[in-house]
């Protein structure tokens, strides 16, 4: 089994990738900076079961200041999940964090990757946010990117830089454009986590706009499967793939489904539409299916049940205090 580097290893998606690789017998070097974009203790909880694994090494540090040439000596795959996330937080003075962590940090990895003798793939976590308000739904990889948020701009810039390093230096780069990932360990600033937590606490949730916006929701285990497929498929080299859950759903309908799972309705507070939010997203995943064999396995209903079970465990003291209903 090979050696993999997972950046953002304590994060939502990165921790699932690291765990899956370890379970399959791989050696994993996990890198995470544990910055304060959200509670670092949540991130430490994500990898608490991995810390003592004999094949896991955790590096707590900033990607830009690590010795990547030494790190990559025996590494065959990099899963680059680390990023400054969040569309709405990317405006204003916080933008510097996005350029540093999304663009500059990726360039540092790419620069070292061009000299890494054993590297067979660098899988980059891109995003559907690079499409913005795409004119064509479902959206294929051939649609010109038109980001509507600073976050989307930085992710697209890093993706394009990966393409440059592939074309000029032969770096075995590929990008996966994720469409609204959810599931256990989801970040607390993301929709489903916020919605469930608010319901547990008896609070109304804020719905941006009229609630009729649509998203292509993708369960985290399907995203992990796509990453592993991209790492092991030679035809993925130099390519970009949409990774979506396979169905476009209206937000209001999702909230109704979540209420049914919890056994209590979600109270909604409608507010102005947020700047930088795309109105609709829908992934054309035909390329990922054809090249990677990607086929989403987890339905939205099943995925929401799994996330609800995790949320209850995370906030169990609050659940007990409020007597919130359990999901089926």
DSSP string, 141-188: TTSPP---SHHHHHHHHHHHHHHHHHHHH---EEEEEE-SEESTT--T
> For 132-136, 213-217, 281-285, which range has the lowest pLDDT when averaged over its residues?
132-136
Contact between 319 and 264 (Cβ < 8 Å)? no
Contact between 92 and 142 (Cβ < 8 Å)? no
CA quadruple 116, 58, 46, 207: dihedral, nearest 10: -50
Contact between 261 and 328 (Cβ < 8 Å)? yes
Q: What is the mean pLDDT of residues 73-82?
A: 98
* Bridge partners of residue 268, in order along the sequence: 205
Cα–Cα distances in angstroms (integers) from residue 191 to residues 2, 195, 254, in the given order: 35, 6, 11
Q: What is the pLDDT of residue 317?
A: 56
Q: What is the pLDDT of residue 1?
A: 74
Q: Which residues contact 313 (CB under 8 A, 6 or more apart)?
A: none
Q: Which two tokens stand for residue 221?
A: 């285990």
Q: Which residue has the tokens 């663009």?
A: 103
Topology annotation, domain 3-181+218-243? Rossmann fold (3.40.50)
Q: What is the pLDDT of residue 273?
A: 86
Q: What is the pLDDT of residue 55?
A: 98
> For 22-26, 158-162, 276-280, 286-290, which range has the lowest pLDDT when averaged over its residues?
276-280
Q: Which residues contact 96 (CB under 8 A, 6 or more apart)?
A: none
177/323: higher pLDDT: 177
pLDDT band at 323 (very low <50, low <70, confident <90, very high): very low
**What is the pLDDT of the chain when averaged over all its residues?**
94
Q: What is the mean pLDDT of residues 258-275?
A: 92
CB atoms within 10 A of CB 170: 12
pLDDT per residue as tens digits for the range 102-120: 999 999 999 999 999 999 9
Cα atoms found within 13 Å of the Cα of residue 139, Cβ hemisphere only: 30
Q: What is the pLDDT of residue 277?
A: 85
In sequence order, which ranges of the chain are alpha helices (DSSP H)?
12-23, 40-46, 68-71, 95-98, 105-113, 150-169, 191-200, 220-232, 251-262, 286-292, 300-314, 316-322
Q: What is the pLDDT of residue 325?
A: 44
pLDDT band at 321 (very low <50, low <70, confident <90, very high): very low
Cα–Cα distances in angstroms (integers) from residue 131 to residues 22, 135, 138, 207, 290, in the given order: 33, 9, 11, 22, 21
* Bridge partners of residue 176, in order along the sequence: 125, 241
Q: Of 18, 141, 152, 146, which is closest to residue 83 (Cα–Cα)?
A: 152
pLDDT per residue as tens digits for the range 184-242: 999 999 999 999 999 999 999 999 999 999 999 999 999 999 999 999 999 999 999 99
Q: Which two tokens stand for residue 53?
A: 């694994």
Q: Could you say which of 79, 124, 151, 196 is catalytic?
A: 151
28/36: higher pLDDT: 28
Q: What is the mean pLDDT of residues 271-282?
A: 88
Q: Whole-prediction pTM value?
A: 0.95
Q: What is the mean pLDDT of residues 71-92?
A: 95
How many angstroms separate the CA atoms of 86 and 12, rounded? 13
pLDDT band at 324 (very low <50, low <70, confident <90, very high): very low
CA quadruple 93, 197, 148, 270: dihedral, nearest 10: -110
How many angstroms separate the CA atoms of 200 and 125, rounded? 31
Q: Is 151 a catalytic residue?
A: yes
Q: What is the pLDDT of residue 328?
A: 37
pLDDT surpassing 70 at residue 264: yes
pLDDT band at 327 (very low <50, low <70, confident <90, very high): very low
pLDDT surpassing 50 at residue 262: yes
């Amino acid at each position: 089994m090979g050696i993999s580097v997972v950046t953002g290893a304590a994060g939502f998606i990165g921790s699932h990738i690291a765990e899956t690789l370890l379970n399959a017998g791989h050696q994993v070097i996990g890198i995470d900076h544990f910055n304060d974009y959200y509670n670092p203790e949540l991130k430490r909880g994500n990898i608490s079961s991995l810390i003592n694994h004999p094949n896991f090494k955790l590096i707590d540090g900033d990607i830009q200041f690590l010795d990547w040439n030494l790190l990559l000596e025996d590494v065959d795959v990099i899963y680059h999940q680390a990023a400054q996330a969040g569309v709405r937080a990317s405006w204003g003075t916080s933008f510097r964090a996005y350029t540093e962590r999304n663009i500059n940090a990726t360039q540092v990895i790419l620069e070292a990757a061009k000299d890494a003798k054993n590297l067979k793939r660098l899988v980059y976590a891109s995003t559907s946010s690079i499409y913005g308000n795409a004119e064509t739904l479902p959206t294929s990889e051939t649609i010109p990117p038109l980001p509507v948020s600073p976050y989307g701009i930085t992710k697209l810039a890093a993706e394009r830089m990966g393409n440059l390093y592939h074309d000029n230096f032969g770096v075995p780069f590929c990008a996966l454009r994720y469409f609204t990932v959810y599931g256990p360990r989801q970040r607390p600033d993301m929709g489903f986590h916020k919605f469930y937590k608010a319901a547990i606490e008896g609070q109304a949730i804020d719905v941006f706009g009229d609630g009729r916006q649509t998203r292509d929701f993708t369960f985290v285990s399907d995203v992990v499967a796509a990453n592993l497929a991209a790492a092991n498929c030679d035809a993925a080299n130099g390519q970009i793939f949409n990774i979506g859950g396979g169905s476009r759903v209206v937000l209001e309908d999702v909230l109704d489904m979540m209420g049914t799972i919890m056994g209590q309705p979600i109270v909604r507070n409608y507010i102005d539409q947020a700047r930088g939010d795309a109105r609709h997203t829908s992934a054309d995943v035909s390329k990922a299916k054809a090249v990677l064999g990607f086929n989403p396995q987890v339905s939205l209903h099943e995925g929401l049940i799994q996330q609800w079970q995790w949320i209850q465990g995370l906030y169990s003291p609050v659940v007990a205090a409020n007597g919130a209903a359990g999901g089926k």
